[in-house]
A and B are shown apart, each in its own frame.
Chain A
Amino acid sequence: MSVLVYTESEEGKFKKAALEVASYAREVAAKEGGSVTAVTFNAEDTSELGQYGVDKVLNIKSEKLSKFNAEAYAYALKQAAEKEGSKVVVLSQSANSKYLAPLLAVQLNAGYAPNVVALPESTDPFTVKRSVFTNKAFNLLQINTEVKIVGVSQNAFGLKENKAEATVEEFSPSLSEEDFSVNVESVDKATDKVTIADAEIIVSGGRGLKGPENWGMIEEMAEILGAATACSKPVSDMGWRPHSEHVGQTGKPVASNLYIAIGISGAIQHLAGVNAAKTKVVINNDPEAPFFKAADYGVVGDAFEVVPRLNEKLKEFKAKNA
């Protein structure tokens, strides 16, 4: 019996989320006394997976699968799960994994638990803790089907090194034209920027910044920290920043290690969306702003004075700790 894990790569390299789900799969396999099989698409070097506990890699090399396609990828994963006799399939909660997971669930007749935040509390019956109500609560979910799919929230489990030697096998799933009926015409992606989904640190700005022309200092902080930039809902609604930067209940969920909120008062919907961030810092001139109740660290002060000074100090810190 092996636990199957979908390890996503981009340009042939593994994403952090891939190593995290591999670490998770290792621990599930340890509980169940099995091994871990990872599925990769067009990965160049899979040796990294062995460091996070993967025993075997099924590497799919296919020109047709060079671009992500939910249906085709799901069908390939289904065939891998059947080949390995896997009863547990682990995947991340990236946009692509969330896209294919329900398709895979139907194909495998598997119950699917998304947004899982911890290892299974028990494997028989199979119960996992997942976040619900946009991180305002958790739900202990029991999956009653023979095959289970677990979607692990980003940063919920972390990386656990578990050195093993992974064997690599080429795997060629059988796919037909029908599996490509949704056609990817073009991909528009900034490759030089850290994305909110992958970021360890997020620097986020709100209405307190008064206008889009004042985002320079936010971008500067993000650059110093290697962080992604984000914003509150009103900022995206007013068109100061693109929708893709909106974090909160109806925007993107955040699960970074550090979230720095600048000029964001902290509406309940925003706080829900950033609740899963490990450490939260707020900089706001209004000491009554609700964000202070949700934050770990706070600075009561004018962002236009505090942020440039903080940026200078962060630069010094980075220079010293490089």
Chain B
Amino acid sequence: MKILVCISHVPDTTSKINFTDGDSKFDTAGVQFVINPNDEFGLTRAMWFKEKQGATVDVVNVGGAETEPTLRKALAIGADSAIRVDATPTDGFFVAKQLAKVAKEGNYDLIIAGRESIDYNGGMVPGMMAAFMDANFVNTCIGLEVEGDTATAIREIDGGKETLTAKLPLVIGGQKGLVQEKDLKIPNMRGIMQARKKPLNVVEAEDASAQTETKKFEKPDPKGEVKLVDPDNLDELIDLLHNEAKAI
């Protein structure tokens, strides 16, 4: 089985979110970039398929040279090789087009992406990829097994879950649950050393214009001070929630 894991290069979850150039660009100054957490669960699950079922695992990302450390980290975790599509990821449509091309040309059986990146929260790349490739698609996937050419996937739905089966090729929008948090793979020294020698191929982007463009960013209005209620006067809290906030 050939697995492709799509890696988004995103600001660490603790990053301060600021914008520059007249609020048109995300300010990367002082920001640490990491593998998108939703992708990390998928990458660790892919490693399981590698260890238990002899799968090969490649990772891919769309981005400039500055994203290579993130791909190297994925290699250190255990991926066999990496592909970087050399382009600025302008919107989800553009990224999905690039990834679908890589996935198709490489004849991958299973493509695992995160359900969304934690920066732009678009949640459209895995589904669009599947549509471009005419592959099956399961979103918000929290469990995945493959036997022969058939996958059994568990999807998180509002208020529960459902079990799905689909033939490969299959695209997964993965998230926490694909593996447990405590089982996430962390690169060890040996992995880091090996990663330096693993192939990282840079490929040119396919021409595909974006469908959407960001005009500007805004930050939410600063919040007012918290109103503290005395624990011995909880009637006041109920009164505030009822009459002021109109929430109960």
Q: Considering the complex, which residues of chain B in the window 215-243 have a beta carbon less than 8 Å from any beta carbon of chain A?
A: 215-220, 223-224, 226-231, 234-235, 237-238, 240-242
Q: B98 at the A/B interface (Cβ < 8 Å)?
A: no
Question: Complex: how many Å from CA A138 to CA B23?
Answer: 11
A193 touches B131 (CB 8 A): no
In the complex, chain B residues whose CB is within 8 Å of the CB of A282? 226
B226 touches A279 (CB 8 A): no
Question: Complex: how many Å from CA A183 to CA B137?
Answer: 11
Chain A min CB distance to B25 (Å): 11
Contact A143-B17, Cβ < 8 Å, known A183-B166, A317-B248: no
A183 touches B176 (CB 8 A): no
Q: Considering the complex, which residues of chain B in the window 20-64 have a beta carbon less than 8 Å from any beta carbon of chain A?
A: 37-38
Q: A237 at the A/B interface (Cβ < 8 Å)?
A: yes
Stretch at the interface among A36-44, A47-55, A112-120: A112-120
Chain A min CB distance to B94 (Å): 11
Q: Which residue of A lies closest to B135 (CB)?
A: A181
Chain B min CB distance to A111 (Å): 4
A102's partner among B38, B128, B176 (CB-CB below 8 A) is: B128
Q: Which residue of A lies closest to B238 (CB)?
A: A317
Contact A183-B164, Cβ < 8 Å, known A114-B122, A139-B214, A293-B226: yes
In the complex, chain B residues whose CB is within 8 Å of the CB of A317? 238, 242, 248
Contact A134-B139, Cβ < 8 Å, known A250-B13, A298-B228: no
Question: Complex: how many Å from CA A314 to CA B214?
Answer: 45
Question: Complex: how many Å from CA A303 to CA B104?
Answer: 55
B215's partner among A95, A114, A141, A250 (CB-CB below 8 A) is: A141
A305 touches B123 (CB 8 A): no
Q: A165 at the A/B interface (Cβ < 8 Å)?
A: no
A140 touches B214 (CB 8 A): yes
In the complex, chain B residues whose CB is within 8 Å of the CB of A95? 139-140, 155-158
Question: Complex: how many Å from CA A310 to CA B237?
Answer: 9
Question: Complex: how many Å from CA A299 to CA B173?
Answer: 39
Q: Considering the complex, which residues of chain A in the window 185-201 have a beta carbon less than 8 Å from any beta carbon of chain B?
A: 185-191, 193, 195-198, 201
In the complex, chain A residues whose CB is within 8 Å of the CB of B155? 95, 99
B123's partner among A102, A138, A300 (CB-CB below 8 A) is: A102
Contact A195-B121, Cβ < 8 Å, known A70-B137, A102-B131, A136-B17: no
A184's partner among B118, B127, B164, B220 (CB-CB below 8 A) is: B164
Q: A137 at the A/B interface (Cβ < 8 Å)?
A: yes
B226 touches A96 (CB 8 A): no
Question: Complex: how many Å from CA A127 to CA B128?
Answer: 21
In the complex, chain B residues whose CB is within 8 Å of the CB of A296? 223-224, 226-227, 245
A105 touches B226 (CB 8 A): no
B227 touches A297 (CB 8 A): yes
B213 touches A142 (CB 8 A): yes
A197 touches B158 (CB 8 A): yes
Q: A167 at the A/B interface (Cβ < 8 Å)?
A: no
Q: A79 at the A/B interface (Cβ < 8 Å)?
A: no
Chain B min CB distance to A273 (Å): 10
Chain B min CB distance to A310 (Å): 5
A243's partner among B19, B142, B165 (CB-CB below 8 A) is: B142
Q: B108 at the A/B interface (Cβ < 8 Å)?
A: no
In the complex, chain A residues whose CB is within 8 Å of the CB of B132? 106
Q: A225 at the A/B interface (Cβ < 8 Å)?
A: yes
Chain A min CB distance to B134 (Å): 9
Contact A188-B161, Cβ < 8 Å, known A114-B123, A142-B213: yes
A141 touches B247 (CB 8 A): no
In the complex, chain B residues whose CB is within 8 Å of the CB of A183? 164-166
Q: A46 at the A/B interface (Cβ < 8 Å)?
A: no
Q: A209 at the A/B interface (Cβ < 8 Å)?
A: no
Q: A295 at the A/B interface (Cβ < 8 Å)?
A: yes
A182 touches B121 (CB 8 A): no
B226 touches A186 (CB 8 A): no
Question: Complex: how many Å from CA A70 to CA B138?
Answer: 9
B217 touches A132 (CB 8 A): yes
B237 touches A249 (CB 8 A): no
B242 touches A249 (CB 8 A): no
Contact A187-B247, Cβ < 8 Å, known A101-B127, A103-B127, A313-B238: no
Q: Considering the complex, which residues of chain A in the window 125-183 have a beta carbon less than 8 Å from any beta carbon of chain B?
A: 127, 129, 131-145, 181-183
In the complex, chain A residues whose CB is within 8 Å of the CB of B118? 133-134, 249-250
Q: Which residue of B lies closest to A125 (CB)?
A: B215
A185 touches B126 (CB 8 A): no
Chain A min CB distance to B118 (Å): 6
Q: A257 at the A/B interface (Cβ < 8 Å)?
A: yes
Chain B min CB distance to A79 (Å): 16
B140 touches A99 (CB 8 A): yes
A189 touches B127 (CB 8 A): no
Given contacts A105-B128, A198-B158, A249-B37, list 5 more A-B pairs with CB under 8 A: A101-B127, A102-B131, A111-B93, A144-B210, A294-B223
**What are 11 A-B contacts defined by CB distance under 8 Å?**
A105-B127, A111-B211, A133-B119, A136-B17, A138-B220, A185-B165, A188-B163, A189-B157, A193-B159, A297-B226, A313-B234
